[in-house]
Amino acid sequence: MERLITEEIFIPQLNRKRRIRVYLPQDYYTSNIPYPVLYMHDGQNLFFAEESSFNMAWEVGKTLDELYSQGYNRGIIVVAIDNNQEDFKRFDEYSPWEVTSLNEFKNLVNKEKVGGEGIRYGEFIVETLKPMIDKKYRTLSQRKFTAIAGSSMGAIISLYIGVKYNDIFSKIGVFSPAIWAVKKELYSFLDEHNLENTMIYLDIGKNETSNKDKKDFEEIYVNDTIELYKYLQKKLGTEYLKFLLDENGYHNEISWGARFPEFIKWIFKKQEGKGYEI
């Protein structure tokens, strides 16, 4: 039976369709136990290079199978939501705020403003997608077993959703966040919200850029992420926070996939004979 299930669903909050992929653990069909769930963005880039936007993939399924075989976890369901590749809709959906300064960083955007649909995208995940997944699959639906993660702008929307819906998500994966796009808005949002008992994994590579013509972009990515780490240290403390600086990391799926095991091993800890320790 299939362990990577693909289907097209409707997003009522945005009045558009979207493909999702659901990865099931190796023993899903031979057991009757429920599993934690990890929601991820840019779904087409997570599993196979031939299906991805840039001919490279995180290889999430392969990694989780290996970690399961090595005894690092008892199995995790991943719900991967494809991004919207129409025009600049990916950025629209992955930013809760309208951004007017994007041309300062990326010379490929010929729009006065982008973003702002992230609020409704978050509502879709919480109000439509999660209830559907919990009904259709054997999930551990409680907060302590529910995580969300993404990279770049996918990291921004993960942090936003995980913090805004702190009663639903207890773990957030923030890979190479594109803080430069929404820095002012992001910090204002974080100042207003409680992060108590929320695990946040944060990372960045030293060779990251979203525009090769902007020579200081690598420095911007690193400095912004370190600044966010220090902010989260003060707001959250160190027990619930993990930071990784990848000396050889680039802004691509191969680098994110290489760091993915560290994220999984930290947020989903297996206790011998007792299932998951959170």
| pLDDT for 103 | 60
Structure tokens at 124: 């879709």
Q: Contact, 266 vs 201, CB < 8 A?
A: yes
Dihedral (CA of 137, 138, 141, 144) sign: negative
pLDDT-derived band at 53, boundaries 50, 70, 90: confident
What's the pLDDT at 191?
97
Q: What is the DSSP string of the chain?
A: --SEEEEEEEETTTTEEEEEEEE--TTGGG----B-EEEES-GGGSS-GGGSSSS----HHHHHHHHHHTTS-S--EEEEEPP--STTHHHHHH-SSEES-GGGT-TT--SS-EE--HHHHHHIIIIIIHHHHHHHS-B--SGGGEEEEEETHHHHHHHHHHHHTTTT--EEEEES--HHHHHHHHHHHHHTS--TT-EEEEEEEEE--S-TTSTTHHHHHHHHHHHHHHHHHHHH-STTEEEEEEEEEESSHHHHHHHHHHHHHHHSEEETTTEEE-
pLDDT of residue 60: 97
Determine the pLDDT at residue 208: 85
Instruction: Return the pLDDT at 271.
Output: 42
List pLDDT tens digits, range 76-108: 999 999 999 876 689 899 999 988 666 665 555
For the chain, what are the domain ranges?
4-197+253-277
- pTM value is 0.93
Could you report the per-residue pLDDT of 238-253, keeping only the tens digit for each?
A: 999 999 999 999 999 9
* pLDDT tens profile 8-40: 999 999 999 999 999 999 999 999 999 999 999
Q: For tokens 């108590």, name the residue.
A: 196
- The CATH fold assigned to 4-197+253-277 is Rossmann fold (3.40.50)
In tens, the pLDDT along 175-224 reads 999 999 999 999 999 999 999 999 999 999 999 876 666 767 889 999 99
Q: pLDDT band for position 73 (50/70/90)?
A: confident
Q: Cα 225 to chain center, whole Å?
A: 15
pLDDT of residue 110: 60
Q: C-alpha distances in angstroms, 160 versus 60, 172, 252?
A: 22, 9, 21
What is the per-residue pLDDT across 126-161, written as a single tens digit (0 to 9) for each? 999 999 999 999 999 999 999 999 999 999 999 999
